[in-house]
Amino acid sequence: MKINRRDLLAASAGIAGAAGLGLTGSRPAFAQEPSYTPEAGASLRLLRWAPFVQGDEDAWLANTKKFTEATGVEVRVDKESWEDIRPKAAVTANVGSGPDMVLCWFDDAHQYPDKLVDLTDLGTYLDGKYGGFYDGLKGYAMRGDKFIALPLAAIGNAVCYRQSHIEAAGFKEFPNDTAGFLDLCKAMKAKGTPAGFAHGKAVGDGNNYVHWLLWSHGGKMVDESGVVAINSPETIAAINYAKALYETFIPGTESWQDINNNRAFLAGQVSLTANGVSLYYAAKKDEKLKDLTADLRATLFPVGPVGTGVELYQTTQAVVFNHTKYPNACKAYLKFMYEAEQMNAWITGSSAYCCQPLKAFASNPVWTADPMHAPYAKASETLRPNGYAGPLGYASAAVMADYVLVDMFAAAVTGASTPEEAVAQAEKRANRYYKV
The DSSP H or E segment spanning 79 is strand 74-80
Across the strands, what pairs with 102? 47, 319
Asked whether residue 214 is assigned to any structural domain, the reply reads yes
In the three-class reduction of DSSP (H, G, I as helix; E, B as strand; rest coil), residue 317 is classed as: strand
Average pLDDT for 303-317: 97
Domain containing 322 — which CATH number?
Answer: 3.40.190.10
Nearest CA-CA partner of 239 in 429, 420, 431, 430: 420
Residues 213 and 178 in one domain: yes
pLDDT tens, residue by residue, 266-282: 999 999 999 999 999 99
Distance CA 203, CA 334 (A): 24
Same domain, 58 and 107: yes
Do the strands 43-49 and 74-80 form a parallel or antiparallel pair, or are they unpaired? parallel
CA distances for 101 relative to 47, 75, 147, 149, 326, angstroms? 6, 10, 15, 10, 11
337 shares a domain with 409: no
- 267 with 248, same domain: the answer is yes
Domain that holds residue 9: 5-156+314-382
Asked whether the predicted pLDDT for residue 8 surpasses 60, the reply is no
For residues 295 and 427, state if they share a domain: yes
pLDDT tens digits, residue range 198-244? 999 999 999 999 999 999 999 999 999 999 999 999 999 999 999 99
Is 128 within 8 Å of 28 (Cβ atoms)? yes
Number of domains in the chain: 2
Asked if residue 31 has pLDDT above 90, the reply is no
**Whether the Cβ atoms of residue 366 and residue 351 lie closer than 8 Å to each other:** yes
Same domain, 297 and 181: yes
Of 79, 68, 78, give the one whose Cα is nearest residue 38.
Answer: 68
Whether 266 and 365 share a structural domain? no
Expressed in percent and rounded to 5, the helix, strand and coil fractions of the chain are: 50, 15, 35
Q: Per the domain annotation, does 57 fall within a domain?
A: yes
Does residue 395 lie within any of the structural domains? no
pLDDT in tens, 160-169: 999 999 999 9
Whether the link from the prior residue into 389 is cis, omega within 30° of 0, is: yes
Q: Which residues pair with 282 in a beta bridge?
A: none
Q: Are 235 and 214 in contact (CB under 8 A)?
A: yes
Report the 10 Å Cβ neighbour count for 401: 18
User: CA 260, CA 210: separation in Å to the nearest integer?
Assistant: 16
Confidence grade of residue 435 (pLDDT, cut at 50, 70, 90)? confident
Residue 353 in any domain: the answer is yes
List, as one string, the DSSP characters of 227-278. -B--SSHHHHHHHHHHHHHHTTBPTTGGG--TTHHHHHHHTTS-SEEEE-TH
Residue 318 and residue 303 share a domain: no
pLDDT-derived band at 30, boundaries 50, 70, 90: low
Q: In this structure, are 300 and 335 located in the same domain?
A: no
Nearest to 393 by CA among 111, 49, 84, 178: 111
106, 19: one domain:
yes
> In Å, what is the CA distance from 216 to each residue of 119, 149, 180, 238, 266?
35, 29, 14, 8, 28
* Angle between helical axes of 13-20 and 327-338 (0-180°, round to 10): 10
> Cα dist. 197→247, 264, 276 in Å?
11, 10, 13
Q: How far apart are CA 256 and CA 195, in angstroms?
A: 13
Q: Is residue 301 part of a domain?
A: yes
Mean pLDDT value of segment 308-322: 97
124: pLDDT strictly greater than 60: yes
Strand partners, 272: 161, 195
Task: Specify if 392 maps to a domain.
Answer: no
Edge-to-edge strand ranges of the sheet holding 158-162: 272-275, 158-162, 296-299
Residue 36 located in a structural domain: yes
**Global pTM value:** 0.90
Give exposure, 370-393, as e/b (b: 16+ Cβ within 10 Å). Answer: eebbbbbbbbbebbbbbbbebebb
> Do residue 281 and residue 427 come from a single domain?
yes
Buried b (16+ CB within 10 A) or exposed e, 167-183: eebebeebbeebeebbb
100 & 137 share domain: yes
Of the candidates 376, 244, 404, which has an alpha carbon nearest to the alpha carbon of residue 301? 376
Which residue, 103, 108, 214, 197, is CA-closest to 158?
197
The residue among 177, 172, 401, 147 whose CA lies nearest residue 297 is 172
Give per-residue pLDDT as tens, 395-406.
999 999 999 999
User: In Å, what is the CA distance from 225 to each residue of 214, 234, 337, 436?
Assistant: 19, 19, 37, 12
Rounded to an integer, the average pLDDT of 380-393 is: 96
Residue 243, domain member (yes or no) = yes
What's the half-sphere exposure (Cβ side, CA atoms, 13 Å) at 314?
Answer: 26
Give the chain's radius of gyration (CA, Å).
Answer: 22
